[in-house]
Amino acid sequence: MADENSKKFLIITSETGGGHASAAAAIADGLKRFAAPDCLVNIVRALEETHLLTKKLAESYNYLLRHHQHLMKYYYWAIERFRPYESNLLYQLTSRYAKQLFVKYCPQVVVSVHPMTQHYLGQMLRDLGLLDRIPLVTVVTDPCYGFWRGWACDDVSLYLVATDEARQQLIDYGVPVEKIKICGIPIHPKFQFQNVEDKCAARMDLGLDPEKFTVFINAGWIGGGNIPHIFEQMIERGEQIKDTQAIFLAGRNEGLRERIGAMARRAAFPTKVLGYSNAMEKLMNAADVMVSKLGGLTTFEALASRLPIIADTTTRPMPQESQTANLILRHQAGVLLARASDVVPTIRRLLHDPAEHNAMRLAASRIAIPDATQRIVDELMRKLDERIVRRTREIESNECQVAG
């Protein structure tokens, strides 16, 4: 199917939330940065492109995430109960597309960063007789215990996980321990701690006061959930935090950006309102604290930036996120926000207690695994090398049989 010595990687993802796509981009960048600058890396949004039905599943997830976050638990339950990723009917509907991927890209290694994709990929590799020739590697983007059962698939040859807790979850799902390695969450190397001068420069680039305590309110890639209501509480009690300034990220929700922009005009503190941004690291670098839902990638990007988190737990987090909340709390790298009305007192406390704020920043640095992407890349290259060696031996064996 391809030159046996080529370096071709196919990364399968989906834009259900922003974390999976961020992980895919970080791995792709890491492969070129740390391993093989000339390698070919293709990223495919499988759920959106495979079939109308899988596209609707992805759209339903994002709709609930944006507008009805409290209902996400039922979506999670339905996926766990009916396991559409194991459906023979869905496989038949998606198999043509999956086959076209292998024909088009001729990958040497296939990487999944989404729990709804590897089952179909593994089945297709089996049907094509390629399961022993093309490694299927899964990078689990949920960092802690309690994530989707869909991550576990017999056809995956290697799992790369963030923590020992994630490793244990896979073991409890029946994945052999020898298939699992702990590497950390794949975040882009641009997420890193900035000194005071760089932080001031980042604020100035955004048109903000370089000296003021800065709150980053992150409504996520999809732009919604509970975060707008939390910001409303900041507006209502803004006189108590008038010595601060804010950045509000509305994500891919233009209506929210306009609504928050109108609200911000009556705030007692200046607020920079932004839509979707490819420069998340600059926003984190400019901030002293982030108010956010606990997505796996976003959390670890903030930790790598030594940015304390005021975590939205006003709605009970989904199972794959609840243990991330416990991780933050256990290491004191942030605060769990149980009620939206608590956000202002929390900000005030961090504003007026630099010692507590600095302690949280140090705690964040202790949890972060800044070289995680390089570790993941090393494992992917090891898989590629194993494949090349195995194919070379097969060719030599066949040649010997012909010669004999």
pLDDT of residue 259: 96
pLDDT digits (tens, 9 = 90+) for 183-200: 999 998 889 888 889 999
Cα gap 365→193, rounded to integer Å: 9
User: pLDDT at residue 6 above 50?
Assistant: yes
Q: Taking the domains of the chain in order of start, what are their residue ranges?
A: 8-187+371-403, 196-367
pTM for the full predicted model: 0.88
CATH code for the structural domain at 8-187+371-403: 3.40.50.2000
> What average pLDDT does the segment 359-365 reach?
94
User: pLDDT at residue 373 above 60?
Assistant: yes
Contact 240, 257 (CB under 8 A): no
pLDDT digits (tens, 9 = 90+) for 379-395: 999 999 888 777 666 66
* Three-state helix/strand/coil letters over the chain: CCCCCCCEEEEEECCCCCHHHHHHHHHHHHHHHHHCCCCEEEEEEHHHHHCHHHHHHHHHHHHHHHHCHHHHHHHHHHHHHHCHHHCHHHHHHHHHHHHHHHHHHCCCEEEECCCCCHHHHHHHHHHCCCCCCCCEEEECCCCCCCCCHHHCCCCCCEEEECCHHHHHHHHHCCCCHHHEEECCCCCCCCCCCCCHHHHHHHHHHCCCCCCCEEEEEECCCCCCCCHHHHHHHHHHCHHHHCCEEEEEECCCCHHHHHHHHHHHCCCCCCEEEECCCCCHHHHHHHCCEEEECCCHHHHHHHHHCCCCEEEECCCCCCHHHHHHHHHHHHHCCEEEECCHHHHHHHHHHHHHCHHHHHHHHHHHHHHCCCCHHHHHHHHHHHHHHHHHHHHHHHHHHHHHHHHC
Q: How much of the chain exceeds pLDDT 90, in percent?
A: 63
pLDDT of residue 318: 80
Domain 8-187+371-403 matches domain 196-367 at the CATH topology level: yes
Q: Determine the Cα angle at 162 with ends 161 and 166, to 5°.
A: 65
Is residue 36 packed enough to be buried (19+ CB in 10 Å), middle (13-18) or exposed (0-12)? middle
CATH architecture of the domain 196-367 equals: 3-Layer(aba) Sandwich (3.40)
pLDDT band of 17, cuts 50, 70, 90: confident
pLDDT of residue 396: 54
pLDDT of residue 1: 44
